Structure 1
Amino acid sequence: MSASQAQSEVGLKERFFRSFQHDVAALQEQIDRLNTIPGNERNEAVDQCLAGIDRLSHEVKDASCYIPAYDQRTYSQTIKGLSEILQTVRNTFNPPKKFSFKTRKNAPAVAVSGSMGLDKSEESRGLINTSDTANADSSFPSTALGKVSREEEDTPKGASRNVEEIGDGIRDGPGVRRPSFSNASKINIANHSKLHLALPTSASSATSSGTLSNLQSCVVDLSIATTGSPFAALYLKNIKDSLIVCGQIAGAIHITNVENSVLVITCRQSRMHGSKNVDVYLHSLSRPIIEDCQNVRFAPLPQTFAGPELDHAANQWDQIDDFKWLKVEPSPNFGVLAEAQRVGDEVWRDKVQGGGDGDLEEILQAVRKQ
């Protein structure tokens, strides 16, 4: 093996290790939040956790060609630990029922109670050493984006918040929509075309998590609602020809199938899958990861969206890992957006933030790639 090949293999191992740690931490956060999710939405949240664990398992298998057998076993044990933790949490929602065998005549009754799942021990949660210097998240400042978990102090005892979905009562077309989400626990914006939406401060109670999906030619600004009240996690799926100002995310943002769009993101971790022709204005406290992407251009977060809490927080916006690029040469799938082509602060400030004074088509034209 040549020196360059050896160096490439070491780089792959390190990238996979960082990626795996990030995903494990994100899944642990998702599992920990299951207890705060209303019962009618919990099954979907559990399914998302199961899908994440399954995806991790497949990624370890795909990487087996360059990961030593010992490391593969360690990763597999970690995945098994996550599955056990999830099962334990699920058992608290639906504890195994006690049951008894029917008694035969002249035979004593036999009662049997069972409990499936394992204790949520520190050992099962700590198969990956999160204090390792390779884990960039360990240096994440607690004051930079706020805490991931939040107390729902305003929710009456015995009550649960509902998911408020945009769709009913919110129409596409001219004008800026400002739904309050005052009674929501999370945000779900789906199935819109030519929607211009800006969340007001009253939506800050709904930022435990958010999903934006199936949007085309839309402008969505979440920044005001997340000031001081960041998303725990945010998911972007199937978005085309749009501008999404994601606001602040204390955990991870997962971006899937986004095309011909502009994203403005402040997060702890950024991971993008299957996207192309995207400009990302980013403040990330760990190395961003892309997979199966094409023509993604990165730039630092515009000053308009950079609050004082980010002044001393390290920004790794240009330290990109292309997880599917296995060669020593730099990946052709991403690059840095030239300064001359970046959108100016006057556009962000005057036309975009909080709805601005520009209409939808004007804003999209102003931020599109030159």
Structure 2
Amino acid sequence: MDRLAETALIGGERSDAMDHCLAGITRLSGEVKDASGYIPPYDQRTYGEAIKALQEKLEETRKSHAPKPKFSFKSKSPSALSLSDAAELAAEKRRAVPGYLSPSPNASFVNTPSYINTPANERAHDEQDSLHEENEQPRQEGKPAGTTNTETKAQSPPADPAQESDRPSLSTTTTSTSISNQSGTHIILPSSAPNTRTPCSLSKLSGCVVDLSVPTTATAPFASITITSVSSSLVLCGSVSGPAHITGVKSSVLVLKCRQFRMHDCENVDVYLHCTSRPIIENCKGIRFAVLPKFHSDLISTSQEDPSAVPNQWNQIDDFKWLSPDKPSPNWSLLPAEDSVPDETWREIVPGGPGWSVGDILKAVGVGSTASGAANGS
């Protein structure tokens, strides 16, 4: 925490560092809870006070280093966020920086550090140059600065709706959270995200690591989550108080706690699940289920209710495409213990950091090998 002041605000590095500190404190709290059976009461009280002091220190540090914005808007439309993030993505492609999608200064998401700092004023200079050129052209034509050429605009072709829908989009507001059209990025929803008691949607993701667990365990769970068209990705959904609808997911790993689980048209997916009702799959194959990893279960039990308070029916699967009561469904199975991701991987590698690329994280959790593992299991 003492080094937080040395981290840069550019690229969301300071916010990302604070999220890692929060996850570490939560992990320590879970470890103390697990050791309560053999630690003397005095030591338990001492450790509890130390953890509380760390939490208070982190909150004080967060407030002391919080930037003071010159102005703010009450709300921001998803389209504005999409254009900003798309512009930043284009700038990174010009600089040939692979791997991460750095957020704009106004974006609501943070990513793991790219370790190549993006100049904060580069896009501002580009916008100033564009505005300067726009004003210079009317002067050359004998028109006052600020006037527009309506004839040129009239001749411009209209924007293609299909292209607009394919733009990268990261949006979190007081009414919803959505991520779409991402490839090869590591996205972490920060603990400072707006109200998470809202619906969340993920769509059109490929080769990504998406971690939504921090705010849903630190504050409140999502009201619901919808995941569509995701391939070769790791998605940590955190806690969902309502239903989870998963459609068109292939060769991926999902981690979530929810009240209702519905999966359609999915193939070769490993699901680490805590569900308080019977999960339902339909038109799926190669789906393997496992209990929620201990690391994530500890996060949820430490910050919210104890998951053991309500029966966990993670392995009571109903396959609507297999109605034979005498034979088990060939479309799903339990994930073998030898294929499960070790708890230290969830704790040390999945959060990212120096030396861990998106590809390294996906390989560590078995993305890319889920297809062969599911085939062997069936």
User: Normalised by the size of structure 1, how large is the TM-score?
Assistant: 0.53
2:341 maps to 1:343: yes
- Give 1:169 deviation, angstroms: 3.4
Aligned to 2:237: 246
Aligned to 1:285: 276
- Aligned partners of 2:321, 2:338: CA distance in 1, in Å? 29
SS at match of 2:329: coil
**CA offset digits 1:19-53 (Å, max 9, x no partner):** xxxxxxxxxxxxxxxxxxxxxxxxxxxxxxxxxxx
SS at match of 1:250: coil
Q: 1:294 aligns with which of 285, 295, 298?
A: 285
Q: 2:362 aligns with which of 356, 361, 364?
A: 364
Aligned to 2:129: none
- Aligned partners of 2:203, 2:74: CA distance in 1, in Å? 24
Q: 1:317 aligns with which of 310, 314, 318?
A: 314
Identity across aligned pairs (percent)?
42
- Give 1:324 deviation, angstroms: 1.5
- Give 1:186 deviation, angstroms: 1.0
- Aligned partners of 1:177, 1:221: CA distance in 2, in Å? 15
Query: 5+ residue gaps in structure 2?
Result: 1-72, 93-97, 110-170, 374-378
Kept in 1, the 8 Å contact 2:275–2:312? The answer is yes
Letter of the 1:315 counterpart:
N
- Aligned partners of 1:164, 1:195: CA distance in 2, in Å? 19
Letter of the 1:330 counterpart:
P
Letter of the 2:316 counterpart:
Q
Letter of the 1:251 counterpart:
G
The 1:161/1:324 distance shift into structure 2, 3 A limit, reads farther
- Give 1:311 deviation, angstroms: 3.5
Aligned to 1:203: 193
Aligned to 2:158: none
- Aligned partners of 1:366, 1:342: CA distance in 2, in Å? 11
Kept in 1, the 8 Å contact 2:196–2:220? The answer is no
Kept in 2, the 8 Å contact 1:161–1:185? The answer is no
The 1:272/1:168 distance shift into structure 2, 3 A limit, reads same
Letter of the 1:324 counterpart:
K
Kept in 1, the 8 Å contact 2:224–2:244? The answer is yes
Aligned to 1:231: 222
Kept in 2, the 8 Å contact 1:289–1:320? The answer is yes
RMSD: 2.3
- Aligned partners of 1:206, 1:163: CA distance in 2, in Å? 17
- Aligned partners of 2:262, 2:204: CA distance in 1, in Å? 18
Q: 1:275 aligns with which of 266, 273, 288?
A: 266
**CA offset digits 1:44-68 (Å, max 9, x no partner):** xxxxxxxxxxxxxxxxxxxxxxxxx
**CA offset digits 1:190-248 (Å, max 9, x no partner):** 11111110111011424501110011111100000211311101000000010000111
2:186 maps to 1:187: no
The 1:320/1:182 distance shift into structure 2, 3 A limit, reads closer
Alignment of 1:41-190 (within 5 A): 161-162=75-76, 164=78, 167-170=82-85, 171=89, 173-175=98-100, 179-180=108-109, 183-190=173-180
SS at match of 2:349: helix
- Give 1:336 deviation, angstroms: 0.2
The 1:286/1:162 distance shift into structure 2, 3 A limit, reads farther
The 1:177/1:162 distance shift into structure 2, 3 A limit, reads same
SS at match of 2:286: strand
SS at match of 1:211: strand
The 1:356/1:264 distance shift into structure 2, 3 A limit, reads farther
Query: 5+ residue gaps in structure 1?
Result: 1-158
2:350 maps to 1:352: yes
SS at match of 1:205: coil
**CA offset digits 1:128-155 (Å, max 9, x no partner):** xxxxxxxxxxxxxxxxxxxxxxxxxxxx
Kept in 2, the 8 Å contact 1:187–1:207? The answer is no
2:331 maps to 1:333: yes
**Normalized per residue, which structure has more helix?**
2
Kept in 2, the 8 Å contact 1:163–1:184? The answer is no
- Give 1:161 deviation, angstroms: 4.8
- Aligned partners of 2:274, 2:102: CA distance in 1, in Å? 27
- Aligned partners of 1:250, 1:164: CA distance in 2, in Å? 24
- Give 1:327 deviation, angstroms: 1.4
The 1:238/1:339 distance shift into structure 2, 3 A limit, reads same
- Aligned partners of 1:286, 1:219: CA distance in 2, in Å? 27
Kept in 2, the 8 Å contact 1:163–1:186? The answer is no
- Give 1:352 deviation, angstroms: 1.5
Please say which of residues 230-239 and 160-169 is displaced more in the overlay: 160-169
